[in-house]
Amino acid sequence: MTAKLLEGKVFAGQIKETVRQELTALKSEYGITPGLAVIIVGENPASRVYVANKHRSCEEIGIYSKVITLAEHTGKDELLAEIMRLNLDERIHGILVQLPLPDHMKNAEKEIMNSISPAKDVDGFHPVNVGKLAIGEESLVPCTPYGCIKMLELAGIEMNGKRAVVIGRSNIVGKPMFHLLLARNATVTVCHSRTHNLAEITSQADILVAAVGKPGFVTKDMVKSGAVVIDVGINRIAEKKLVGDVDFQAVKEVAGAITPVPGGVGLLTIAMLLHNTVKAAQMICKSSS
């Protein structure tokens, strides 16, 4: 068997088309253009590339984009004051602090992230949004796992009653992925570094999500024939070579569908950020009308 390729660009394109329609509706109904503010502190080259990509994606689709670049030595209070200003700024509907923060702010990361208004928390990391996702209330959902779910939905992959296994339990991928799959009536198992007999568990999965951060971690023997394999991992193994957490060449021979890396889930993350910015704007407009 050779798996069907779930290409990120196809689904990202569909999500962006819906975002475009919602932007038009927001403009005609409320007369607003949603705005996203991204704060970057310091010189991390990878972060600068990510922020530039987000800015470009916003501009392309018609979302107002504001990038705030703060010097490496910026203090916590200065950053908190910037976030407070954005929380009150009516042109801004989404706020994102690009991680990682410089070392001197690492201890304050939670306080900084939690200072973003939950209504503008387009990363979906605020405890209010985390809690709402867990209890099934409408919320802003972390972009990467949300992108995985959208991809499954758009590809017409049945989740209801299916056995899903997520490898990884991080707050940004694994745990929200669990809640999203559970909400769609999958029977979900979350595995992590202390899980015993991992291959035995993963090989029962109809849907297998890998969010580990280890190149080629998921091998052919861990995958059930015909399973849908979603590879969240992004691992740089050489200057210009990115690979996922799944041994793609071998696993595609047994899986029913599989996402490539690059060109898979990564493209959906940014599409979902645009979606979340529009959603935040919609919720803010509705609550104040």
- For residue 160, the minimal CB distance to ligand NDP (Å) is 25
Question: How many Å apart are CA 269 and CA 278, to the nearest integer?
Answer: 14
Residue 54: active-site member: yes
Query: Closer CB to ligand NDP, residue 26 or residue 243?
Result: 243
Query: Closer CB to ligand NDP, residue 36 or residue 265?
Result: 265
Tell me if 72 sits within 8 A of 79, measured CB to CB.
Answer: no
Query: Closer CB to ligand NDP, residue 50 or residue 64?
Result: 50
Residue 204: active-site member: no
Tell me if 165 sits within 8 A of 197, measured CB to CB.
Answer: no
- For residue 268, the minimal CB distance to ligand NDP (Å) is 8
- For residue 265, the minimal CB distance to ligand NDP (Å) is 4
Query: Closer CB to ligand NDP, residue 75 or residue 262?
Result: 262
Q: Which residues bind ligand NDP (CB under 6 A)?
A: 144, 167-170, 172-174, 191-195, 198, 211-213, 232-235, 265-266, 269
Residue 123: active-site member: yes
- For residue 232, the minimal CB distance to ligand NDP (Å) is 4
Tell me if 203 sits within 8 A of 188, measured CB to CB.
Answer: no
Catalytic residue among 4, 106, 120, 123: 123
Query: Closer CB to ligand NDP, residue 84 or residue 237?
Result: 237
Catalytic residue among 4, 21, 66, 98: 98
How far are the Cα atoms of 50, 121, 162, 166, 241 from residue 158, in angstroms, in the given order? 32, 30, 7, 16, 33
The residue number whose beta carbon is nearest to ligand NDP equals 170
Catalytic residue among 54, 150, 162, 279: 54
Query: Closer CB to ligand NDP, residue 264 or residue 282?
Result: 264
- For residue 83, the minimal CB distance to ligand NDP (Å) is 22
- For residue 32, the minimal CB distance to ligand NDP (Å) is 28
Active site residues: 54, 98, 123
